[in-house]
Amino acid sequence: MPKEHLEARRRQILDAARRCFVRNGFHATSMQDVLTEAELSAGAVYRYFKSKDDIIAAIASEALAEVAAAFGADAAAPPPDLDDVVDLVLGVERPPLSRSRESAQLLVQVWAEALRSPSLSARLKEVMAEARGVIGGLVARHQERGRLPAGVPPEHVADVLTALVDGFLVRRAVFGDADPVAFRNGIRALMSVPASR
């Protein structure tokens, strides 16, 4: 069977499972739900995934890859302006996780699943450490240029920015009304307030 066909079938299964998981959650979705949504036989699905946990792991890996891509940066490129760090985190121009409420809902479920799954928790920690490193590096470069107070550890600023984005994603997942552009503008307004002495 051609590789393209195999990948298309795998994608069909994952897309169907993703729709089921967004609709009903990981644990309320049965394999039969996935089979029905994908319009495939059990044999066709089990050829690609041995269990529902395997499907959850594959979808979680894709969601975490989205996070990693959102924080990816070209080390050779000049650092973005400080305000643009928010765009990097939110992906306002090319939204990654913020592109839909469903994506945010899935990521929140991945976080919850990480409480149960040590392997998923370890992967999530790796991705978030990578993100923290990228943002912390940008913050440090701005501190060197005098655009941020030098007395604040870069990782503290990175932690705050990522926590704000986590809050944005939870709000989008639960309420559906979080606008990345409005959120970015609010963060920029807060960042422009002079520090009190």
Q: What is the pLDDT of residue 141?
A: 81
Residue 142 within any structural domain of the chain: yes
Count of domains forming the chain: 2
Same domain, 111 and 176: yes
Q: Tens digits of per-residue pLDDT, 67-83?
A: 666 555 555 556 666 55
Same domain, 77 and 27: no
Q: Which CATH number is 8's domain given?
A: 1.10.10.60
Same domain, 98 and 122: yes
Same domain, 78 and 18: no
Same domain, 114 and 150: yes
Q: What is the pLDDT of residue 20?
A: 92
Low-confidence ranges of the chain (pLDDT < 50): 93-98
Residue 197 within any structural domain of the chain: no
Q: For residue 42, what are the domain limits?
A: 1-50
Same domain, 23 and 118: no
Q: What is the pLDDT of residue 95?
A: 47
**What CA–CA distances, in Å, run from 7 to 11, 27, 36, 64?**
6, 26, 19, 20
DSSP alpha helices (H): ranges in the chain? 3-24, 31-38, 42-46, 52-71, 82-90, 101-114, 118-144, 154-175, 180-191
Residues 128, 120: Cα–Cα separation, whole Å: 12
Same domain, 77 and 163: yes
Residue 106 within any structural domain of the chain: yes
Same domain, 41 and 72: no
Same domain, 68 and 13: no
Same domain, 114 and 93: yes
Residues 13, 9: Cα–Cα separation, whole Å: 6
Residue 38 within any structural domain of the chain: yes
User: Residue 195: which of 165, 152, 136 has the closest Cα?
Assistant: 152
Same domain, 73 and 13: no
User: Residue 49: which of 65, 40, 106, 126 has the closest Cα?
Assistant: 40
Structure token digits, residue 26:
């990981």
Q: What is the pLDDT of residue 86?
A: 62
DSSP structure string for 1-12 = --HHHHHHHHHH
Residue 3 within any structural domain of the chain: yes
Same domain, 98 and 39: no
Q: Tens digits of per-residue pLDDT, 101-132?
A: 887 888 888 888 889 888 888 878 887 787 78
Residue 196 within any structural domain of the chain: no
Q: What is the pLDDT of residue 84?
A: 63
DSSP structure string for 168-189 = HHHHHHHHS---HHHHHHHHHH
**What CA–CA distances, in Å, run from 65 to 131, 148, 177?**
11, 30, 24
Q: Which CATH number is 88's domain given?
A: 1.10.357
User: Residue 103: which of 43, 18, 161, 179 has the closest Cα?
Assistant: 18
Q: What is the pLDDT of residue 94?
A: 46
